[in-house]
Amino acid sequence: MNDEQGTSRRGVLGGAALGLAAAAAPGMAQQGGAAAAPAATLRDPRTKYTTTPFPEQRQPWPALQFKMTPRPDCGETSYKGSGKLAGRKALLTGGDSGIGRAAAIAFAREGADVAINYYPSEEPDAQEVKALIQQAGRKAVLLPADIRSERACQKLVTDAHKALGGLDILVNNAAYQQSKEDISQITDEQFVRTFETNIFATFRISKAAIPLMPAGSVIINTGSVNSYDPGEELLDYASTKGAILIFTKGLAKQLVKKGIRVNMVAPGPFWTPLQVAGGQLPGKLGEFGQETPLGRAGQPAELAAHYVLLASEDSSFTTGGVVGAHGGKGNP
């Protein structure tokens, strides 16, 4: 071998060694090298959010989130996306506040265009969500409507599909909840309204959306810990949540033939406008969430990742399932 050949060979081997070193760098960094990413900050779930009893407060139904004390945390400043839903098109009912708002913000920051439905009087909250979706660089569509009629449900789906240019995520989240100590206090009007909002709309909106949804689409229904363990003061509400559980499981079996997944999120006590608009008995807000093993109510931001997971390809083998979040008490 002449000197020129030797020099050339040494250069090649040196370059290869540098390449191997570069490839190994991430592993070296994980082992404590100078380039290692900072460790995630651990937070005690018992104290991550307030454990102070909520002050007694009432608002006319459906209540506005921006008037609540304290305001619920829906991930407005904390949720960070990673592109899990890039290019997706989502419709959420009850998307102006609470759990629906948290899911809408997360979907947008994960790359989805988002349409939200809400009761017309909730426009101030809806405008806040619109701004947050647009700040994430995604399309925001506002669709105010009372979804208690078949016609309204059908129009909602048609309008969302047209405005978004498609539909592959549907979140049935809107709900009506009024606490009553005894069945004798539940009027027929309240009973009907609860069923029309919670389960009739879920059925009607899903029925209208399914023909427009391609294989790979997902439907996520918001159930409740009441689907399994009904609160005695929520007889009508809990009955609808039990129905949503069975509807989810049955529809999942039907839609597997179309390649559409159907799942449910089952929250426990979460601080949302439902609670201050009749969702809790008078004088009981200070106790809300205090009975959980974690000693506090949940915040909507703590549910956002559940909806993202079920909507994403990461859970492609999950259908007919339920994800719970109840602070250690309840099912599943």
Query: Which has the closest alpha carbon to 309: 323, 320, 299?
Result: 323
d(CA 93, CA 108): 15
Which residue among 49, 118, 237, 307 is the active-site one? 237
Taking the CB of residue 131, how many other CB atoms lie within 10 A of it? 11
The strand pair at 218-222 and 261-267 is best described as: parallel
d(CA 126, CA 138): 15
**Is 237 known to be catalytic?**
yes
Q: Which residue has the tokens 């009607």?
A: 204
Count of helix runs (H) and strand runs (E) in the chain: 9, 7
Cα 57 to its chain centre, rounded Å, is 25
Name residue 221's beta-bridge partners: 172, 264
Strand arrangement of the beta sheet that strand 261-267 belongs to: 140-144, 113-118, 89-93, 169-172, 218-222, 261-267, 322-325
Q: Which residue has the tokens 């007919």?
A: 320
Q: Is 166 exposed, middle or buried (0-12, 13-18, 19+ CB in 10 A)?
A: middle
CA angle 122, 125, 129 (to 5 degrees): 130
Structure tokens given for 234: 């929520």
d(CA 132, CA 315): 26
Taking the CB of residue 39, how many other CB atoms lie within 10 A of it? 6
Structure tokens given for 303: 């549910």
Collapsing DSSP to helix, strand or coil, 72 comes out as coil
Name the residues annotated as catalytic: 237
